């Protein structure tokens, strides 16, 4: 799983570098033809007190930098025993920017996991209705 995900991100990064007109960080806006959903798991370090984790996040500027301006937060929940689960909607061209913000501000307090996702609700509900 990790290898496939890493390969997909590496290929996406290579494709972005090959483009001649890559938007400046923070300037691209999600549209129906370029938007991706990214599910981010922020797994907290259970060996450290919450106050210590929050202090580290503050020192590293996590809440100031995340989410980057213009990136839509679809949901941001806490999964007990895991940590925070954030679903973002963003243009594919901003994937690297989101990754860098998390590397710079979340690492140490959180272990991060990324899952490219898509909205299946309409399809799933249509299939459910059809089966009735």
Distance CA 76, CA 95 (A): 18
The stretches of 31-120 forming alpha helices (DSSP H) are 50-60, 62-65, 95-105
Residue 87 belongs to a domain: yes
Give pLDDT tens digits along the chain (132 positions).
444 444 444 444 444 444 445 556 566 777 777 789 999 999 998 999 999 999 999 999 999 999 999 999 999 999 998 999 999 999 999 999 999 999 999 999 999 999 998 888 899 999 999 999
User: Quick one: tokens of 121?
Assistant: 């609700």
Count of structural domains within the chain: 1
Q: Tell me the pLDDT tens digit for each residue of 116-128.
A: 988 888 999 999 9
Find the CATH number of the domain harbouring 94: 3.30.70.1710
User: Quick one: tokens of 80?
Assistant: 């007990």
Which one, of 29, 112, 102, lies nearest residue 66 by Cα? 102
Give SS3 for 91.
strand
Range of the domain at 105: 30-131
Strand (E) or helix (H) holding 66: none
Residues 6+ apart with CB under 8 A from 95: 9, 12, 13, 16, 36, 38
Residue 1 belongs to a domain: no
pTM, rounded to two decimals: 0.73
Give the length of the chain.
Answer: 132
Residue 7 belongs to a domain: no
């Amino acid at each position: 799983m990790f290898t496939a995900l890493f390969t997909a991100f590496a290929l996406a990064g290579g494709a972005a570098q090959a483009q001649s007109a890559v938007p400046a960080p923070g300037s691209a806006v999600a549209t129906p033809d370029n938007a991706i959903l990214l599910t981010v798991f922020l797994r907290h370090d259970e060996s450290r007190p919450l106050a210590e984790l929050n202090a580290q996040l503050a020192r590293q500027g996590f809440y100031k930098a995340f989410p980057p301006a213009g990136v839509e937060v679809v949901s941001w929940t806490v999964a007990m025993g895991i940590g925070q689960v954030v679903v973002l909607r963003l243009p594919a061209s901003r994937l690297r920017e989101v990754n860098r913000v998390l590397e710079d501000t979340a690492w140490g307090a959180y272990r991060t996991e990324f899952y490219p996702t898509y909205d299946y609700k309409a399809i799933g509900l249509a299939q459910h209705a059809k089966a009735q």
